[in-house]
Amino acid sequence: MTKLKIDQDLLMKFERGLDPRNPEENEVPTKVLGYGEMSTVFSIIGEGYGDLAYKRMPIFQNMEEAENYRAVYNEYNDLLNKIGITVPPFDSVVIENDDGQIVMFGVQKILDPSSVAHKIIHSVTDDEIMLMVRLILREIKKTFDFNKKNKKLNIVLDAQISNWAVVGFDPKKPKITEKTEFFFIDTTTPLFRKEGVEQLDPELILRAAPSFLIWIVRLLFVEDVISRYYDFHLSTIDLIANFYKEQRSDLIPALIDLTNDFFETEAKDLKIEPITIKKVNSYYREDVLIWRLWLFFRKIDRFIRTKITRKGYPFILPGKIKRY
């Protein structure tokens, strides 16, 4: 694990001044970089602070839970590096805020936003995008090659396009070549199994679910959502379907052809079922429906907990997400 210079006192100050509805209106100058289902990514603006990205996770009931998760997070990052999936320099810290809420921050060296792949697909040629996706498929294949040889330890990725960044990308001279290398940047959802046992406790995902829907989310979605990443076919459908969300649906037919060629040639030994446009469209429609309902009900839950029960709501929710 990389040791980064993390100012825990500053994070405590950030927590004291945090309004989850207006996270950037804080005594600590803050910029939100992105949103996840369980977390929010932000940077602290100021001399000596702007080189780190913090992923805030207020999902823990006690310090033991948080420290266990932190250990799994650190191990996942180390495992990815060992099998050849490069992650940015990383660290983590757990704090207890003034309200007794346990919060973990996954911390990474911040990258130039223009180097993240979902931005790059708007700045390079279509041929370069095709090459970039092929290179990303090679990165994903590293995990499945490892899993094929190591039955007791399986490691996978949430490989959507926004979770990859190009090493040394120059936005003034945007270029993708056969020598392009990548960082995998979404490591706070550690997806790996030992002896078939998921190391990420699925119950932690439920902490971000609307309180009145926990039972149905547990029953219908949690296992399905996690399991898809252990299937190269489904994981790649997720990668391609993301091009709808990123406003490049025009590329999807060519991406399907590229991916099926990759399956037939470079990944022939894995015997992966071909992808069809029907499957990509069906997957994306279902995914959009699930996450729209998820966000809608979370907003209802926030209203109940802040306006009616007065228990407070620790999560930062995104605004409207633009989708195709």
Domain ranges of the chain: 8-109, 125-308
Q: How confident is the model at residue 207 (pLDDT cuts 50, 70, 90)?
A: confident
Residues 273, 276, 282, 287, Cα dihedral to 10°: 60
Beta strands in 234-315 (DSSP E): none
Q: What is the pLDDT of residue 222?
A: 64
Q: What is the pLDDT of residue 316?
A: 76
Q: What is the pLDDT of residue 261?
A: 98
Higher per-residue pLDDT: 166 or 59 = 166
Model confidence over 17-28: pLDDT tens digits? 988 888 899 999
Model confidence over 155-193: pLDDT tens digits? 999 999 999 999 999 999 999 999 999 999 999 889 999
Asked if pLDDT for residue 144 goes beyond 70, the answer is yes
* pTM metric for this prediction: 0.88
Higher per-residue pLDDT: 313 or 134 = 134
User: In whole angstroms, what is the distance from residue 243 CA to residue 283 CA?
Assistant: 12
Classify residue 93 by its DSSP letter. Answer: E
Model confidence over 252-291: pLDDT tens digits? 999 999 999 999 999 999 999 999 999 999 988 887 777 7
Classify residue 320 by its DSSP letter. Answer: P
Q: How confident is the model at residue 315 (pLDDT cuts 50, 70, 90)?
A: confident
Q: What is the pLDDT of residue 126?
A: 97
Q: What is the pLDDT of residue 171?
A: 92
Q: What is the pLDDT of residue 287?
A: 77
Q: Which of 114-123, 216-225, 277-286 has the lowest mean pLDDT?
A: 216-225
Q: Which of 72-81, 213-222, 248-257 has the lowest mean pLDDT?
A: 213-222
What average pLDDT score do residues 140-156 get?
A: 95
Q: How confident is the model at residue 221 (pLDDT cuts 50, 70, 90)?
A: low
Q: What is the pLDDT of residue 2?
A: 64
Q: How confident is the model at residue 123 (pLDDT cuts 50, 70, 90)?
A: very high
Q: How confident is the model at residue 120 (pLDDT cuts 50, 70, 90)?
A: very high
Q: For residue 223, which of 184, 266, 254, 191 has the smallest C-alpha distance?
A: 191
What average pLDDT score do residues 238-251 get?
A: 94
Q: What is the pLDDT of residue 37?
A: 65
According to CATH, the topology of domain 8-109 is: Phosphorylase Kinase; domain 1 (3.30.200)
Contact 41, 55 (CB under 8 A): yes
Return contacts of 145-152, CB within 8 angstroms, 24+ apart: 146/83, 148/270, 152/194, 152/195
> Mean pLDDT in the chain?
89
Higher per-residue pLDDT: 310 or 106 = 106
Characterize 103-115 residue by residue with b for buried, 16 or more Cβ atoms within 10 angstroms of its Cβ, and e for exposed.
bbbbbbebbeebb
